[in-house]
Amino acid sequence: MGRHSCCYKQKLRKGLWSPEEDEKLLNYITKHGHGCWSSVPKLAGLQRCGKSCRLRWINYLRPDLKRGPFSQQEENLIIELHAVLGNRWSQIAAQLPGRTDNEIKNLWNSCIKKKLRQKGIDPNTHKPLSEVENDIGNKLENKVNESTVGSIKSDDPEDIKWSEYLHSPFLLGGGISNTNNQNSSSSSHLQPILYSNIVKPESHFSNTTTATGSNPTWHHQNDHHQLQAASSEIMYTNKDLQRLAVAFGQTL
């Protein structure tokens, strides 16, 4: 794919956004909503591709973004959600109003991973590092055995990961033991989070422009009642979430 198809057609800017560009995009979307992203740059007078505009809006210009550092509670929540969802950043972000998937991904890669390792926890499996090392040893051993004995075991590394999730301390009510942190959120609230998250909101907000062209209004869509009501119908539309559902059907 390389650069987006739209970018080949004309000389488009790349890299950091200037304040002028931000202003143009913000003004345009505030007045008209984004509509079709591919037509936004042209209509807003920007030398960017639609994808770049969308990203800039989502990660920086959206009015509902929460700025500033993550709280300890937010970090704990991210860790708990990651234990269940893995690197599904957008789904994790859906549980943290005002935070973007990009922001959470960056935090995870630059900060949380390191902290977990310092606590002796493997950030991929959320198991104690010592246990993970043993697992690796065991899996290597199993591989050797499999080469001689037929096995129905999946080779998909993700399968291994998910089965590990099912037995992770988070799902079993343990959460990460953090004796230093009084704010450490227990995993007791994880169940409601998961149930409400089964239906992934398209975005936290939708904008509706009035017929008169006045400023759009922003509606918070992440209403748990709404989601729970809807969840019975679209609960298992996503392949990964089906796996979650099966998993939680077993554990809840």
Partner DNA sequence: AAGTACGTCAACCGCAACTCA
Partner DNA sequence: ATGAGTTGCGGTTGACGTACT
Binding site for DNA (CB under 7 A): 1-7, 13-17, 35-39, 48, 50-52, 54-56, 59-60, 69, 87-91, 101-103, 105-107, 109-111, 114, 200, 202-203, 237
Taking the least distance from each CB to DNA, the nearer of 2 and 213 is 2
**Minimum CB–partner distance for residue 88 and DNA (Å):** 3
Burial 156-180 (b: 16+ CB within 10 A, else e): eeeeeebebbbebbbbeeebbebee
Q: How far is the CB of 235 from DNA (least distance, A)?
A: 14
Nearer to DNA, 142 or 203 (CB): 203
Closer residue to DNA in complex, CB, 6/121: 6
Minimum CB–partner distance for residue 18 and DNA (Å): 9
CA distance 47 to 60: 18
Is 248:216 a contact under the CB 8 Å cutoff? Answer: no
Nearest to DNA of 111, 247 (CB atom): 111
CB nearer to DNA: pick between 10 and 59 = 59
Q: ∠ at Cα 88 (5, 194), nearest 5°?
A: 140
**Is residue 128 classed as helix, strand or coil in its secondary structure?**
strand
Smallest distance, DNA to C-beta of residue 61, A: 9
Minimum Å distance from CB 193 to DNA? Answer: 16
Helix axes 239-251, 157-166, angle to 10 degrees: 30
Contact 204, 64 (CB under 8 A): yes
